[in-house]
Structure 1
Amino acid sequence: MLSYAELTPPERLLWDAFATGERVDLRTGDPASDDPAGGERWGEDRSVRAEVVRALVLGGAEARPGETPVVHLVGARITGRLKLVFAEACCVLRLERCWFELRPQLYAARLRATGFAGSHLPGLGANRITVEGGNLDLMHTRITAPGATLYDARLDGALLLQDAQLSNPGGVALDGARMEVGSGIVGDDGFRAEGEVRLPEAQLGEALILTGARLVSPGRAALTCRNLRARVLDLRAERVTGTVDLRHARVDVLHLPDADPPKAPTHVDGLVYGALEPHLPAARRLALPRHDPDGYRPQPYQQLAATYQSLGHDHEARAVRLAQQRHRRTTLRPAARAWGHLLDATVGYGYRPWLAGAWLALLTLLGAAAFAAGEPTAAKPDEAAPFNPLVYTLDLLIPIAGLGLRNAWHFTTPPLQGLAYALVGAGWLLTTALVAGVTRVLNRG
């Protein structure tokens, strides 16, 4: 048990200010000397033992009636380890622009609004914590190896990471697996992570915002949001080095950068979103499923097509589905790939049936011109209808003869005989491809 007589002068300032919630600021006013990066060199006049902070947070000093007690310390050198394992705080804790000698241990603590804004910490062990009635403020903080561990944490407010720098190269910079955050995680305005940011199965009441963030984890995952749930997911980061895992995440609105290919290889199988922002033509969004490191997966294409369909942009939805078939074709065996190329060229897998008409018109003009220059021979001269090169060509192209000239006339010269056989074969191929493509569309949407 600490006694007041044992406290140093800066500790007494903090102890006395606790009852009224006043801030104790130990800074000198010189920006260079007040930088927490050099806090290890601060002297006794700026040093506060972690056990003093712990005693106050646990109610070691009496609160003044009618006042709200707060531990609010700025510009201090925190010596020893701040240990609040399974503790229940009686007040708000704000340790700003401080330098910490050892990694705070807050495992399973029940805290009020808590902040380390602008401080330098050699890690932060806060897994399973509960923050009631406020935010966990890590704005402008510098947290080094082993990073910040917040898995299974429960926050009523938000996790604030603006301009924070979390550094654990080759490891995990922020472990927020299974977090539940009432508002969300705000990591914009210069947030930087060296090492993986892990948020699998996190439940965010509002948003994960990474606008302008820099996530650096070469050769491994930079951001893991597998099975994450949020209303808004904003991934317009300034830089991402490493992979992004969004598999089976569910969000209402997904904000993505306009980049082709994406800034980072992104796993998107099972990702579900209601809206995709900003709204761009399908050709600008196909990079998302096309560059998935897992290769071809049907669900990302179906999700993207459904998004355009819900907006009434049927043409864009068809473009996505056509791109899906082309990507799928790369996974097939040679014979199936060849058939796929034919379906693509003739009818666009059924999503461009007008191509069949274009091919039919081209072949009709080619055949009519060639047959008009030749000399046909009637099978039965006395019964044959007058020869018409255009009708004759159409009769060859239509799989089931019905115009009366295919069997009534023929050509004896090899080139025109070969053309006639080729047109019959082309007619069957066009018809088969059209039926197969349309059937594919009807069956798969």
Structure 2
Amino acid sequence: MVGHDPASGPFRLRGARVVGPVDLTHRQLAFGLEFVECRFTDSLDLRGLSAGSLDLGASRLPALVADGLAVEGDVRLAGCRIGGEPGRPVPLGAEARPVRDGVRAPRRVAEASAEAPLRLADARIAGNLVAEELALFSTGPWSCFAPRLRVEGAVQGQSLTATGALYLRDARVGHALGLNGARVGGLDATGLACGRGFYADWGFHTSGQVLLRGATVESVVTFHDATLAGPHAGLVLGRLTTPRLRLDLRGAPEGRIVLRDAHVGALVDDPSAWPRAGNLDIEGLVYKRLGSTSPLDVKGRLGWLALDQEAGVGVFEQLALSYQSSGDERAARTVRHARERHLRRGDRLTGRIWGTVQDVLFGYGYAPRRALLWLLALVAAGSSWFSVRAPAPVGGSGQRAFDPVLYCVDLLVPVVSLGYRSAFDPAGWDKAVAVFLIVSGWLLATAVISGASRALGRV
């Protein structure tokens, strides 16, 4: 390598067996390095190296330490095998501790003591990071340790295999990050910034948590056809910001799906991929549109909300706003009706009773036709009663002819008087029926006014 002419292109070594450690730390090379299909008996130390490009395609080595690496072109690790014989996989999240908001997630790793067969902490790559069919074998929790990695191009990790997890906290990727078909022990990409899409789909498989907390992805985050296998596998996407999120997994996960405080333009999922009740966290989730790969009506969406057993009433209002923005006012009213039912569950006994009355009579203001049906039913029942049991006129004058329908309407409507209520004096059971109609009228009017004011106040 000494005396290599940069004009002749990269320094190439193919099919070689390299015995002993290779130390290129802090070297400044004006050309690229190609160690293709080589076998290294010891680790390759590239810390602080500056080079035009780096190609380790199909090579095998115990470890690649490249913290602070600076490459002007591509870094190619396609088909490479890094690490010794794989130990027992350690799923990310298996030893996690509870943190704020009840989200189980690992804390920030102490970088000085972190061990991984591939280290790219603070590395800078002006081109692409090509890691297709890369195999990473580790005995600890991390297979790749690359905090603050900077890649101006794309990260191509299709069909990547890692017995441990990938650590990409605060990484910056100019284009897409692709993990299609990858099999990993987890991923911690907290604080990731991606200029295009994040693709963990088409056979992506993880046995541990996938963390995208506080990540910003400018195009799409997709887990289409992904598998979250095992009790520790889940998605922690709190505070994620992206225009589109796909969660139509291959099957329902055993672990949690956390979308707390995420901001999503469009959210697409599938009921068959929903977690079990109690394993969904959507508190504070903001979205403009919901979609599903399977037919799903508003009742189904309410079932989705119910999976978050600790969610507040805000999740109902967010769903109602989504339906309202799409022009489905009926679905929005249905959701707000369910919101009132959910809200009343925490009231005292008297509040729950009054809430039940409002729900039955008027649907909390979101079922106005129900009040009319109750009114017509009461008028019909009262008219049937008084048509055969006409009350005696007051004072026996009989100046006003008795009309059972108008008499019942006058009893039921508490505000306007038609003169029939004061003109006739029922007795016995007739008086009890009249009092029942008067009380029902006041109850109905009070519920209508209360529900209508509540509904109009949220418009």
TM-score range with shorter-chain normalisation? 0.7 to 0.9
Matched, 1:71 2:55: yes
Q: Counterpart of 1:162 in 2: which secondary structure?
A: coil
Indicate how the Cα distance of structure 1 residues 10 and 137 shifts in structure 2: closer, same or farther if over 3 A, else same. Answer: same
* Counterpart residue identity of residue 340, structure 1: G
Q: Distance in 2 between matches of 1:383 and 1:108?
A: 99
Q: In the aligned structure 2, how far is the partner of 1:197 from the partner of 1:2?
A: 44
2:441 maps to: 427
Letter paired with 1:223 = L
Q: What is the Cα deviation at residue 259 of structure 1?
A: 4.9
The answer to whether the Cα contact below 8 Å between 1:22 and 1:70 also exists between their aligned partners in 2 is: yes
- Given candidates 154, 167, 179, the residue that maps to 1:135 is 154
Deviation at 1:299, TM superposition (A): 2.0
Mapped partners of 1:159, 1:401: distance in 2: 69
Find the aligned partners of 2:393 and 2:14 in 1 and give their Cα distance. Answer: 119
SS in 2 for 1:188: coil
Answer whether contact 2:48 2:69 (CA < 8 A) is retained: no
Partner of 1:84: 66
Deviations 1:115-138 (A, max 9, x none): 222122121001111112x21222
Offset at 1:263? Answer: 5.6
> Which position in structure 2 is the counterpart of 1:228?
240
Is 1:48 the counterpart of 2:40? The answer is yes
Matches within 5 A, 1:325-344: 325-344=340-359
Please report how far the alpha carbon of residue 410 of structure 1 lies from its aligned counterpart in structure 2 after TM superposition.
Answer: 2.6
Q: Does 1:144 align with 2:163?
A: yes
* 1:16-55 matched pairs, under 5 angstroms: 24=36, 26=37, 47-48=39-40, 54=46
Tell me the equivalent position of 2:179: 161
Q: Which amino acid aligns with 1:290?
A: A
Q: Where does the alignment leave 5 or more consecutive residues of structure 1 unmatched?
A: 27-45, 64-68, 168-172
- Whether 1:98 and 2:110 are equivalent positions in the alignment is no
User: What is the aligned-residue identity percentage?
Assistant: 30
State the aligned residue count.
Answer: 399
For each residue in 1:357-395, what CA deviation from the matched residue of structure 2 results, as whole angstroms up to 9, or x when unmatched?
100111111111111121422221125411111111111
Structure 2: tracts of 5 or more residues without a match: 5-12, 23-29, 85-116
Query: Alpha-carbon deviation of 1:292?
Result: 1.3
Q: Cα gap change, 1:327/1:3 in structure 2, threshold over 3 Å: closer, same or farther?
A: farther
Offset of residue 287 of structure 1: 2.3
Q: Is the 8 A contact 2:149 2:170 kept in 1?
A: yes
Normalization by structure 2: what TM-score? 0.80
| Structure 1 position 53, deviation (Å) | 7.9
User: Is the partner of 2:254 in helix, strand or coil?
Assistant: strand
Counterpart of 1:107 in structure 2 is 121
What's the offset of the Cα at 1:54?
A: 3.6
**Does structure 1 conserve the Cα–Cα contact (< 8 Å) formed by 2:254 and 2:275?**
no
Q: Which residue of 2 aligns with 1:194?
A: 207
**Cα distance between partner residues in 1 of 2:276 and 2:16:** 49
Report the AA paired with residue 245 of structure 2.
L
Once residues 225 and 172 of structure 2 are traced to their aligned partners in structure 1, the CA distance between those partners, rounded to angstroms, is 26
Per the alignment, residue 268 of structure 1 pairs with 282
CA distance in 1, matches of 2:376, 2:42: 85
Aligned counterparts of 1:115 and 1:384: Cα–Cα separation in 2: 99
What is the RMSD of the two structures over their aligned residues, measured on CA atoms?
2.8
TM-score, L = length of structure 1 = 0.82
Deviation at 1:413, TM superposition (A): 3.0
Question: CA–CA distance in 1 between the matches of 2:77 and 2:309?
Answer: 42
For the pair 1:287 / 2:271, whether they are aligned, the reply is: no
Structure with greater helix percent: 1
